[in-house]
Amino acid sequence: MEYVIEMLNIRKEFPGIVANDDITVQLKKGEIHALLGENGAGKSTLMNVLFGLYQPEKGEIRVNGKKVNITNPNIANDLGIGMVHQHFMLVEPFTVTQNIILGNEPTKKGKIDIKKAEREVQEISDKYGLKVDATARISDITVGMQQRVEILKTLYRGADVLIFDEPTAVLTPQEIHELIEIMQSLIAEGKSIILITHKLKEIMQVCDRCTVIRKGKGIGTVDVADTSVSRLASLMVGRDVVFKTEKKPAEPKETVLKIEKLVVNDSRKISMVKELNLDVRAGEIVGIAGVDGNGQTELVEAITGLRKSESGSIMLKGKNIKNLSPRKVTESGIGHIPQDRHKYGLVLDYPVGENIVLQTYYQKPFSKAAILNYKEIYEKAKEIIEEFDVRTPSEFTKARALSGGNQQKAIIGRELDRSPDLLIAAQPTRGLDVGAIEFIHTRLIEERDKGRAVLLVSFELDEIIDVSDRIAVMFDGKIDAILKPEETNEHELGLLMAGSQVSGAGESNDKE
């Protein structure tokens, strides 16, 4: 059997934790090989070892059967290994081509030959159907496009093996569809791919084989054709996983959030939310479905005080909270799981413990007379870490060192712990493993049953349909339709999200 990459018995330790413990992965030529495991199982670490960012304590790496020593990413590049990181590494003010040639610029008589580079980049883009404009500026293109620039970068440097670390977590369903096509055309050109993803359906759809990692240990490799979603899930978690969260019918009570005729502009002063009306009542979960860029982000920012509203009203339990400061909004009883956890959710250089009190540090018992009480802070942190199963060496570890999914669990724990009257959850399960998603969904429903109002914003239609009691479809800054999850399906939602009116649905917006 011919393997392009073999990682044999790899061990990688961090202080206080063994991230990879005797893991073996073998990649065949021309296959898409999935790497599956819970948050913090050690997938990113393993791939960083392959890419030369970390040195393993034990184990051996072979490329095309030859033992190699990858001590830095340049060596990985030379060996034809490219990596698309979950958090892109692009220079925003530069163009696509400038970003791609950064670090090995082609020169002509000592000057950078940008024209030649642009031609080459465009050629590769066309060959694999990436549809990237080589001269566009990074800051002007969408997240999905930026990811393709990262793919282009690896191809430009001659990668034969591409590592994708959770590429679909930040993409909309349409973009995911396109990415899958791109991966297939890469395979057709003789490349091999390692794909990290938490979405089991994607694995079933595109992958040939799948290696499962649990708590740093390799559990084994299976042929995707011989397995099923539930089998994969239980392999990875070590128990059976329920995919559809059980819940009683909602018992909505008084209105907690009432938004009327709300208008919100983005930073370019273009209206993104246009006279929007929305109610959320105690004891119900309202899911906002919509394609990214239809004003969901601005709506959430306006409610939470991060962005000024132009007109209209936002009433929380009968009190107008429009244009209050974020602190006032938080104090009046709103919890917010932000969409971008690195930008908003965490101070990455603070320990986990100090992140847990990010909104409450100035209150008792975490401080008294402006003096912090670290004992109370870290005790609270420990409590939340335990309750929400945040996998971290300790509460003193910097948030930066946690795996993506565990960072998210810490944020969710913090927001739920304040038991806010209204919980706004924006993409709460982005990047989480199936076990954690199940857990988060259960917690959201529990909050609902305790009589809290929950506003869920998600691009995942599964999640919207599963968890919501009512679904509000947002299109072009307005809520066009409110539907019951049991009376709709992904197809209808998809049409509504694209802006088409489905008969009878358009009316239900005004009154309920």
Ligand X SMILES: Nc1ncnc2c1ncn2[C@@H]1O[C@H](COP(=O)(O)OP(=O)(O)OP(=O)(O)O)[C@@H](O)[C@H]1O
Q: What is the DSSP string of 323-366?
A: T--HHHHHHTTEEEE-S-IIIII--TTSBHHHHHTTTTTTSTTT
Q: Which stretch binds Mg ion (CB under 5 A): 37-45, 125-133, 259-267, 284-292?
A: 37-45
Residue 480: helix, strand or coil by DSSP?
strand
DSSP 95: B
Does the protein bind another protein through residue 367 (CB under 8 A)? yes
The encoded tokens of residue 18 equal: 């063994």
Exposure on the CB side of residue 312, measured as CA atoms within 13 A? 22
Question: How is residue 111 written in tokens?
Answer: 């000057």
Burial of 349 (0-12, 13-18, 19+ CB in 10 A): exposed
Q: Contacts with another protein in 127-156 (CB under 8 A)?
A: none
Show the binding pattern over residues 33-72: x = contacts ligand X (CB under 6 A), - = does not. Answer: ----x-xxxxxxx---------------------------
Rule CB under 8 A: which of 276-295 touch another protein? none
**Helix, strand and coil in the chain, % to nearest 5:** 35, 30, 35
The angle at the Cα of 355, spanning 352 to 361, to the nearest 5 degrees, equals: 130
Among 23, 27, 44, 236, binds Mg ion (CB under 5 A): 44
**Which of the listed partners (another protein, Mg ion, ligand X, none) does 491 bind, with a CB threshold of 5 to 8 Å by partner kind?**
none
What phi and psi, each to the nearest 5 degrees, are found at residue 3? -110, 135
Residue 45 interface partner, choices ligand X, another protein, Mg ion, none, CB cut-off 5-8 Å depending on type: ligand X
Scan for tokens 């670390």, then name that residue. Answer: 165
Residue 41 contacts which entry, Mg ion, another protein, ligand X, none (Cβ below 5-8 A, type-dependent): ligand X
Short-list 90, 40, 104, 145, CA closest to 385: 40
Compare residues 14 and 243 and give the one whose CB is closer to another protein.
14
Q: Return the number of the residue (98 or 407) whose C-beta is nearest another protein.
A: 407
Cβ closer to Mg ion: 165 or 466? 165
| Size, binding site for ligand X by CB under 6 A | 19
Which range of residues in 218-226, 330-338, 424-432, 434-442 is near another protein by CB under 8 A?
330-338
Residue from the set 30, 129, 173, 326 that interacts with another protein by CB under 8 A: 326
Q: Does 361 bind another protein (CB under 8 A)?
A: yes
> Which residue type, as a one-letter code, is found at position 97?
T
Q: Considering CB under 8 A, how many residues would be counted as binding another protein?
A: 34
- Asked if 170 and 157 count as a contact pair (C-beta separation under 8 A), the reply is no
Residues 387-416 that bind ligand X (CB under 6 A): 391-392, 401-406
Which positions from 372 through 411 interact with another protein, judged by CB under 8 A? 372, 396-398, 401
Rule CB under 6 A: which residues touch ligand X? 14, 17, 19, 37, 39-45, 391-392, 401-406
Rule CB under 5 A: which residues touch Mg ion? 44, 404
